[in-house]
Structures are given as C-alpha cells and as structure tokens.
C-alpha cells in the first residue's frame, strides 16, 4: 500500500485599500481603478491534501480570536455563508493549477482557516484563492514529480480568478491599476497600525459599484489617479502625513447601502484616530493610529462596546 502524500499548507494576507479611485463604468461593465493596496497581518491559510476520491472538497474553520471568530461569537455570522462547492474561489484556484498537471489523478481536500470577514471588502475569498494556488502548486509538483509553476504563471492564473487575487499572492503594498490586477509594488518605510472593525452583514462588491454609478449618474467622472505625495508618505512611513491623503470612492456608495457604518467611522474621530475609512467595497472599517499600543487599546474599547475589532499591522 502506498502512503498518502503529506498535505501542503500556504497563507495569504487580507488587504485594505489605503486609497481607491474608480473611473466611470467601461463598456464591459468593469471600472478602471487606481488602488493603493496594503496587506494586513490577518489573513487566510489553506491546507491542500490529496484524497482517494475524485473532485475537490472544502472544509472551513474560523481562526480563534480573528474577526470571523468574533462575528461567530456575537451571532452575526456563520461559516455556512462560505460556499463549499465549485463556486468557492479556492476551489477554482485549485482546479486552475491542477489543469496544468494533466497526468495527476485522484481528488483533493482544501481546508480553509478563515480570519478575514466574508464579503467584508478585505479580499478574503481572494486570499483563499491565492493560498490555494500556492499550496496546490507545491502539492501537484511534489506528487507528479514535475516542476512547479513559476511565479509568473501563478500570477497569470491569479488574474484570471479575480482582480484582487494577484495582490493576495504578492502581499506587501502595491499600486493596482486596470481592474486592480496590474500591480506595481511600492516601498513602505514603517508598518502602519490599524484597528479593523467588522460589520454585522457583508456588502456585495457588484452592488456597491452599481450604487457608485447611480450616485455619480450626472457627474463627469475623471480617470482614476493616485494623489501626489501618497506614495512618498508611505515610503517615509509617516502615518500622520499619509492620513489626510487616504480616500475611497466606494465609501459613499457603501455608506449609502449601509448607513449603520456612519457611527462606526465617527467612533474613530471621537477616539482621536489619524483617519478612518471603509476598506474597498466595505463594510469593514479601518482606523489608522500612530502606534501599536494605541491600536490594541482602541480594539479593546471597541470590543467592549460589542463590535468585532482587531489591531493589525499593515503590511
Ligand atoms: P473583494 O473585496 O475581493 O471584492 P470581499 O472581501 O468583499 O471581496 P469575499 O469574502 O472575498 O468578499 O467574498 C465575496 C463573496 O464571494 C462571498 O459572499 C461568497 O459568496 C463568495 N466566495 C467565494 N469563495 C469564497 C471564499 N473562499 N471565502 C469567502 N467567500 C467566498
């Protein structure tokens, strides 16, 4: 009897968008964006194990202490919301890799350890896809004895899975253009300190874009651009200089669909943070503070008030 090959495990970070501008809708329905992505120190882990059956199965668990675990403790979320069929982005990622190893047979199990809120604007599904690309690539190469796909091939598969997947693969900080998938890494002088606050219900990214287009119906929307000085402020690591430059075109749309985010943002101002913003299409809110200790203190206070909150570094 041959032993079952050992599993492979890989991680990928969640993200916030420190800046996000979206242009007008394109003829294909997508929007060109100018995004400053920044990875955060909370993210997803995927373990890929071979099985004797066929097809890909999925298991999902919450990382203790994570925003997802806090949402479950408060009764505002259950892991049933994560698809375990072929619509799970991690499954699509695994199958994209396996298609490049046609001689392999047998099934696959993906165990996802979730920390990033679902439909939270933090790219959780994209991080699962990125981690699955890495884990399945290593497993398939080891089991088949063929060379693993190189970084460029993985990035190409990532871009085919979703606009945020390439960034989840590379991490760090990067400017994203086009739909967000075209990346240019940018240096960060010092990690930023954020407090992430998860909402009770998720927001659908397409719904937020549709609301943005509706709110801008009569506006002449310029092509998306990063503001002057933003990359320099990040490079020098001066959070106070970065704070006034943070902006997100999707924030007004997210607030329009989820007005309950207004007091969450206002709580940051009341606590004297440097800036508060909605991440991506929301509804997760991030508060920028000057130091790690201030982030831990604010996260404690917000958790005491009943909100799922987590102090993180970025990147
Ligand atoms: P983004 O900011 O990248 O647009 P998001 O972080 O707001 O996305 P996700 O958590 O990635 O949102 O998931 C959005 C939807 O995708 C979910 O509501 C779910 O139906 C589907 N989905 C597919 N795969 C996954 C996955 N692995 N984890 C969570 N949701 C997934």
- Residue of the CA atom closest to atom 26 of ligand 1: 125
In angstroms, the CA 134 to CA 273 distance is 37
**So what's the pLDDT on residue 3?**
65
| Overall domain count for the chain | 2
Can you list the positions of beta strands (E) in the chain? 8-25, 31-51, 56-62, 107-114, 173-177, 182-185, 192-197, 247-248, 275-278, 285-289, 309-314
Alpha-carbon radius of gyration of the chain: 20
Quick check: 1 pLDDT over 70?
Answer: no
Which of 185, 205, 229 terminates a domain? The answer is 185
| Within-domain flag for 289 | yes
Same domain? 170 vs 218: no
pLDDT in the model for residue 160: 97
Cα(144) to centroid(ligand 1), Å: 31
Among 185, 216, 246, the domain-final residue is 185
Q: Of 185, 201, 216, which residue constitutes the final position of a domain? A: 185
Specify whether 217 is located in the same domain as 141. no
Q: Is residue 15 flagged as an active site residue?
A: yes
Question: With a 6 A CB cut-off, is 248 part of the ligand 1 pocket?
Answer: no
Query: How far is the C-alpha of 182 from the C-alpha of 174, rounded, in Å?
Result: 9
Q: Which domain holds residue 229?
A: 192-314
Contact 128 CB / ligand 1 (< 6 Å): yes
Give pLDDT, residue 149.
98
- Residue 5: pLDDT band (50, 70, 90) is confident
pTM for this model (two decimals): 0.96
Q: How far is the CA of 40 from the centre of ligand 1 (A)?
A: 17
| Nearest CA among 93, 118, 116, 90 for reference residue 13 | 116
Tell the burial category of 259 from Cβ atoms under 10 Å away from its Cβ (0-12, 13-18, 19+): exposed
166: left (phi over 0), alpha (psi -120 to 50) or beta: alpha
Tell me if 1 is assigned to some domain.
no
Verify that 176 and 96 share a domain, yes or no. yes
On whether residue 310 sits in a domain, the answer given is yes
What is the pLDDT confidence band of residue 2, given thresholds at 50, 70 and 90? low
What integer best gives the mean pLDDT of the chain? 96
- Does 45 contact ligand 1 (Cβ within 6 A)? no
Q: Is the pLDDT of residue 61 over 80?
A: yes
- What SS3 state is found at 50? strand
Q: Is 164 a catalytic residue?
A: yes
Residues 121 and 199 in one domain: no
Q: What is the tens place of the pLDDT at every residue in 14-44?
A: 999 999 999 999 999 999 999 999 999 999 9
DSSP lists the bridge partners of residue 15 as 39
Provide the 10 A C-beta neighbour count for residue 52. 7
First to last CA, the chain: 46
pLDDT in tens, 124-153: 999 999 999 999 999 999 999 999 999 999
Ligand 1 center to residue 202 CA distance, Å? Answer: 9
Contact 11, 44 (CB under 8 A): yes
- pLDDT tens figures, 236-250: 999 999 999 999 999
Same domain as 153, residue 134: yes
């Amino acid at each position: 009897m041959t032993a079952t090959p050992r599993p492979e495990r890989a991680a990928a970070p969640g993200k916030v968008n420190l800046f996000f501008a979206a242009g007008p809708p394109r003829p294909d329905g997508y929007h060109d964006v100018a995004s400053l992505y920044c990875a955060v120190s909370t993210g997803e882990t995927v373990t890929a194990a071979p099985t004797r059956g066929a097809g890909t199965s999925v298991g999902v668990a919450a990382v203790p202490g994570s925003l997802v675990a806090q949402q479950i403790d408060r009764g505002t979320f259950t892991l049933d919301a994560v698809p375990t069929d072929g619509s799970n982005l991690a499954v699509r990622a695994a199958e994209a890799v396996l298609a490049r190893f046609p001689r392999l047979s047998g099934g696959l199990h993906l165990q996802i350890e979730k920390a990033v809120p679902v439909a939270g604007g933090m790219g959780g599904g994209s991080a699962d896809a990125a981690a699955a690309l890495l884990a399945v690539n290593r497993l398939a190469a080891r089991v088949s004895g063929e060379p693993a796909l190189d970084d460029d091939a993985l990035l190409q598969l990532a871009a085919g899975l979703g606009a945020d997947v390439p960034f989840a693969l590379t991490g760090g900080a990067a400017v994203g253009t086009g739909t967000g998938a075209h990346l240019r890494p940018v240096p960060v002088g010092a990690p930023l300190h954020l407090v992430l606050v998860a909402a009770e219900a998720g927001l659908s990214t397409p719904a937020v874009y549709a609301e943005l287009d509706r709110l801008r119906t009569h506006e002449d929307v310029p092509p998306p651009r990063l503001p002057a000085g933003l990359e320099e402020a990040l490079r020098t690591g001066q959070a106070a200089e970065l704070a006034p430059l943070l902006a997100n075109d999707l924030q007004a749309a997210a607030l329009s669909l989820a007005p309950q985010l207004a007091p969450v943002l206002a709580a940051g101002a009341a606590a004297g943070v440097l800036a508060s913003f909605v991440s991506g299409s929301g509804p997760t809110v991030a508060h920028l503070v000057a130091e790690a200790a201030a982030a831990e203190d604010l996260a404690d206070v917000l958790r005491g008030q009943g909100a799922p909150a987590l102090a993180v570094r970025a990147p």
